[in-house]
Amino acid sequence: MKKWLYLDDVRATPTGFDIRAYTAKGAIDHLSRGDITGCSLDHDLGGEFDLPESEVGNGYQVACWIEEQARLGKLNRITCMIHSANPVGAMKMKEALIRAMGYWHMASFDPCI
């Protein structure tokens, strides 16, 4: 069964997303369960709750976590999208997720074939 995660603190959850996270920690908690097949990430978080950045985090932290887990072989390939209005943050997230895709690709590569 496909499960999609939506990370955003302000926008309404679009149709088709099963799980909502408002903080980086919340998103990572859901992703770490291993049953998420796709996600859409915002970069800037915390506006809706007026919490300090240290408690909320940002989408780049989630993208880096995904990259690290892919590198370690601890996270199955997932589909990732970015819906951030922050162009610099979105580019950093994109770069981390591209590296994650590279790790997933290498994990499926068998040089003996």
pLDDT in tens, 21-68: 999 999 999 999 999 999 999 999 976 666 666 678 999 999 999 999
Does domain 4-107 fall into CATH 3.40.50.2300?
yes
Give pTM, 2 decimals: 0.89
Q: Given this model, what pLDDT does residue 112 score?
A: 63
Domain ranges across the chain? 4-107
The per-residue pLDDT for 46 is: 78
The percentage of the chain sitting over the pLDDT mark of 70, rounded to a whole number, equals: 87
Cα dihedral 68, 43, 85, 8 sign: positive
Averaged pLDDT, 3-21:
96
The two structure tokens encoding residue 113: 């074939």
Band of the pLDDT at 79, cuts 50, 70, 90? very high
* Beta strand 79-82 pairing with 38-41: parallel
Window from 4-8, 55-59, 85-89 with minimum mean pLDDT: 55-59
Which residues make Cβ contacts (< 8 Å) with residue 37, sequence separation at least 6? 2, 3, 4, 78, 79
